[in-house]
């Protein structure tokens, strides 16, 4: 008997060692995979951050502009058309020529003029139109540098100048400007205050952000009420039969349909059949509604199911009608969960590109949209467009826009987490 026991103990001992080893391997495998995941995430962040941080700054050049009415060809300051048509480019060029008097040949001059962004003359015009008393005065302005100079100057500051797009002479001019303290790197407000542009230094994300907000507003306004109503009907009212089962299975399946399919559907229905315009937030919102509805319905149902049945019984037992039970007791308890689902759905919609390409929200749109029926693009599509642009300066813009998009997503997901916490604390 004792012998048998001891051998049994020995056997267990031996198998235990094996088990411990297996367990250890299992743990190590888990740790490795998590580390790889985190490392990948960090690499992504570092890459995007490293590239994108430059997008938030912009090179500016200081010029003393003589707003001479002769040069501007403005003789009557009260004639709005004349003021608007003034030759602002001319005074900027004059200022540049004055700064670099040694530049004489036509070709060199053109190169010199190209240092200042094309947007400068528009800015000058806007300023003068707002205050015509400026005409006749000499004023100092900081103008945006053209993107090639911007890239060169910023890389120069970082110690690794990118010289492919600037020649010897141009570099000398930059050096002179640096010496005089007439060139500097500042915060890139244009990035946040303007729409897309073919000139990188003028391109901003405001148009895309507003487009995204308009599109999301439509999506939220449609998908949340419809999704919640569908969830309430399916969960509380629908009879449990084959048909409702079929509907349920299909909703689940729809959630897994690739989003581009919804884009095709939107193209076929909203644009081709109903004749709605392309590239507008309304249609984008409709398409994204189709895409997010399954997610919202499913999370809303989960939230409804999580409401303890005892609460329903309590209300029904008191003589509350079904609708009163739902409106007074079930919905308030399920709402945080439903909102969480909606926010996650919105975050999904915010990051969605493919279905919007299908309905033409990929167009190059300079104006910032102001209404649901204005042509617009959205953040992820803007990122896609910029990443496709050849100008080097768009590389940092792309990453900067990704950072803004990520910021929005992180904000939304944090909201979702906070709401869920609140839900958990409830009971």
What is 115-152 written as a DSSP string?
A: TB-THHHHHHHHHHHH-GGGTT-EEEEEEEBPHHHHHH
CB 335, min distance to another protein, A: 12
CB 342 within 8 A of CB 414: no
Side-chain-side CA neighbours of 80 within 13 Å: the count stands at: 2
In the complex with another protein, the residue whose CB is nearer, 61 or 423, is 423
Nearer to another protein, 3 or 427 (CB): 427
Nearer to another protein, 159 or 427 (CB): 427
- Distance between CA 158 and CA 180 in Å, rounded? 20
Q: Give the whole-angstrom CA distance, residue 23 versus residue 26.
A: 5
Kindly state the smallest distance separating residue 305's Cβ from another protein, in Å.
15
In angstroms, what CA-CA distances link 281 with 195, 246, 296? 15, 32, 20
Quick one: 101 or 319, whose CB is closer to another protein?
319
CA of residue 291 relative to chain centroid, distance: 19
Nearest CA to 219 out of 347, 60, 77, 123 is that of: 347
Which one, of 52, 390, 414, 343, lies nearest residue 205 by Cα?
52
Pull the structure tokens for residue 228: 């919640």
- Closer to another protein at the Cβ: 48 or 333? 333
Nearer to another protein, 311 or 406 (CB): 311
Shortest Cβ 348–another protein spacing (Å): 30
Residue (26 or 237) nearer to another protein, CB: 237
CB nearer another protein, residue 234 or residue 385: 234
Residue 334 CB, nearest approach to another protein (Å): 12
CB 216 within 8 A of CB 281: no
Q: How far apart are CA 425 and CA 300, in angstroms?
A: 18
**Beta partners for 58?**
186
Least spacing, CB of residue 319 vs another protein, in Å: 4
Least Cβ distance, residue 324 to another protein (angstroms): 6
Shortest Cβ distance from residue 204 to another protein (Å)? 47
Residues interacting with another protein, by CB under 8 A? 239-240, 308, 310-321, 324, 328-329, 333, 426-427
Across the strands, what pairs with 65? 139
Cβ 2 to another protein, closest distance in Å? Answer: 35
Q: Which of these, 339, 389, 343, 345, lies nearest to 364 by C-alpha position?
A: 389
């Amino acid at each position: 008997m004792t012998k048998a026991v001891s051998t049994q103990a020995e056997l267990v001992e031996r198998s235990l060692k094996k088990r411990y080893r297996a367990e250890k391997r299992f743990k190590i495998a888990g740790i490795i995979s998590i580390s790889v995941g985190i490392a990948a995430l960090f690499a992504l962040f570092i890459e995007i951050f490293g590239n994108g941080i430059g997008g938030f700054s912009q090179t500016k050049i200081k010029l003393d502009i003589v707003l001479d009415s002769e040069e501007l060809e403005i003789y009557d300051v009260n004639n709005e058309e004349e003021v608007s048509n003034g030759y602002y480019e001319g005074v900027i060029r004059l200022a540049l020529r004055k700064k670099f008097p040694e530049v004489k040949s036509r070709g060199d001059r053109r190169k010199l003029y190209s240092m200042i962004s094309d947007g400068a003359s528009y800015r000058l015009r806007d300023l003068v139109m707002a205050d015509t008393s400026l005409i006749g005065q000499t004023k100092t302005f900081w103008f945006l540098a053209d993107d090639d100079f911007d890239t060169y100057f910023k890389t120069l500051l970082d110690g690794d100048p990118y010289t492919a797009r600037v020649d010897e002479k141009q570099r000398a001019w930059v050096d002179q400007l640096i010496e005089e303290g007439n060139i500097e790197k500042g915060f890139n407000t244009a990035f946040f205050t303007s729409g897309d542009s073919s000139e990188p230094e003028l391109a901003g994300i405001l148009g895309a952000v507003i487009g995204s907000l308009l599109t999301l507003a439509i999506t939220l306004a449609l998908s949340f009420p419809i999704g919640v109503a569908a969830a309430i009907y399916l969960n509380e009212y629908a009879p449990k039969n084959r048909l409702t089962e079929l509907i349920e299975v299909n909703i689940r399946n729809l959630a897994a349909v690739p989003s581009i399919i919804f884009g095709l559907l939107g193209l076929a229905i909203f644009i081709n059949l109903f004749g709605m315009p392309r590239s507008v937030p309304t249609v984008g919102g409709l398409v994204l509604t189709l895409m997010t509805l399954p997610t919202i319905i499913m999370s809303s149902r989960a939230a409804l199911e999580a409401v303890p049945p005892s609460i329903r019984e309590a209300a029904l037992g008191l003589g509350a009608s079904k609708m009163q039970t739902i409106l007074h007791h079930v919905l308030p308890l399920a709402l945080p969960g439903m909102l969480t689902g909606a926010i996650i759905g919105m975050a999904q919609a915010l990051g969605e590109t493919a279905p919007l390409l299908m309905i033409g929200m990929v167009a190059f749109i300079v104006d910032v949209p102001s209404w649901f029926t204005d042509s617009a693009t959205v953040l992820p599509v803007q990122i896609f467009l910029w990443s496709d642009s050849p100008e080097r300066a768009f590389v940092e813009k792309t990453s900067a826009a990704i950072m803004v998009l990520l910021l929005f997503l992180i904000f939304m997901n944090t909201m979702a987490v906070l709401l869920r916490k609140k839900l958990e604390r409830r009971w």
